[in-house]
Amino acid sequence: MKHQEIKIRELKLSDTSRLAELANNSNIWNNLRDYFPYPYKESDAELFINHVQTQNPQQSFGIEYNNDICGVISLIIQSDVYRRSAEIGYWIGEPYWGKGIATKAVELITRYGFEKLNLIRIYAGIFENNIASMKILEKNGYINEGISLKAVVKNSVLLNEHRYFIVNKNYQ
């Protein structure tokens, strides 16, 4: 069996077309916040990549699988009293689902957040119907800290949001 290499890396403008192709998928959009555009165009990908390239420190990365860009993962650093916390967000192109890519990407960015960004806490809010994402977080040691009832409206449907978190072991 061929070794499968999964890594996170800086996004490049050369990723624009492939990101737009993968992101323009309602099955992905259905599990993301509405500020993620759908339909997703090349201009959306280019705008996002240009924005990410201005981040200091770097918070958003391309997910690469066997040298192919296949998704995006980000840590959104919070402000004020929450400045040592970040929200994690990610998506993987549908052709790459079920290969363990997101699980490894979450592991890599969690380590990055704790070791390079000196975060204390990383958390996620997952729509109730996104069981795959809940499993990805649980495999990485994230704990379900509760369910916010009727907290999300997506596609005109009222959903519960499952809240997950992990704390940097240096602060436990």
pLDDT classification of 1: cutoffs 50, 70, 90 = very low
User: Hey, is 117 helix, strand or coil?
Assistant: coil
Closest of 46, 49, 27, 23 to residue 36, by C-alpha: 23
The tokens describing 72, both together, are: 């995006």
Q: Is the entire prediction scored with pTM above 0.75?
A: yes
Looking at per-residue pLDDT, the higher value among 136 and 1 belongs to 136
Domains in the chain and their CATH numbers?
A: 6-171 (3.40.630.30)
pLDDT per residue over 49-73, tens digit each?
999 999 999 999 999 999 999 999 9
CA distance 126 to 10: 25
Centre a 10 Å sphere on the Cβ of residue 56 and count the other Cβ atoms it contains: 6
Per-residue pLDDT at 15 exceeds 50: yes
**Banded pLDDT at 172 (limits 50, 70, 90):** confident
Residue 2 has pLDDT above 60, yes or no: no
Model confidence pLDDT, tens digit, residues 84-121? 999 999 999 999 999 999 999 999 999 999 999 999 99
pLDDT tens digits for range 109-155:
999 999 999 999 999 999 999 999 999 999 999 999 999 999 999 99
Say if residues 17 and 66 touch (Cβ distance below 8 Å).
no
Region 13-33: mean pLDDT is 97
pLDDT of 80 > 50? The answer is yes
